[in-house]
Amino acid sequence: MEKIASFQVDHTKFSVGMYISRIDDDIVTYDVRMVKPNGGVYLETPSMHTIEHLFATFARNSEFGKNIVYVGPMGCRTGFYLLTRGLSHENAIKLVREAYTFIRDYNDEIPGCTEV
């Protein structure tokens, strides 16, 4: 069976940060790493879920909302994927910085956090 592209990446070269994971036609996938892959420390599931809701809500409501394809957690619990279309790398970095500032300062009900 052929290995998928993301499993062919040498994760020993990554640390905390934002990386271009792949480019497929007009969609850019960014890895937004919050902890070092395979470093023995992983994000707690409830924290990841909260960050996911806040990150996605912020990104889709930002000035770049129309350029957001997907925001979601990495199964390895080291960070998040951000998929964009038609967004410069500079603006993707700007978006992530603003989103993480928003998340850091957020002090209200978590969007989408009820059964309804």
pLDDT of 97 over the 90 cut: yes
Higher per-residue confidence, 18 vs 10:
18
Residues in the chain: 116
Of the candidates 85, 87, 76, the one whose C-alpha atom is nearest the C-alpha of residue 48 is 76
Q: What is the CATH number of domain 16-105?
A: 3.30.1360.80
Q: In what order do the strands lie in the sheet with 68-73?
A: 17-24, 27-33, 79-85, 68-73
Please name the residue ranges forming H helices in the chain: 45-61, 89-105
pLDDT of 113 over the 90 cut: no
Q: pTM value?
A: 0.90
Spatial separation of the C-alpha atoms in residues 55 and 98, rounded to whole Å: 10
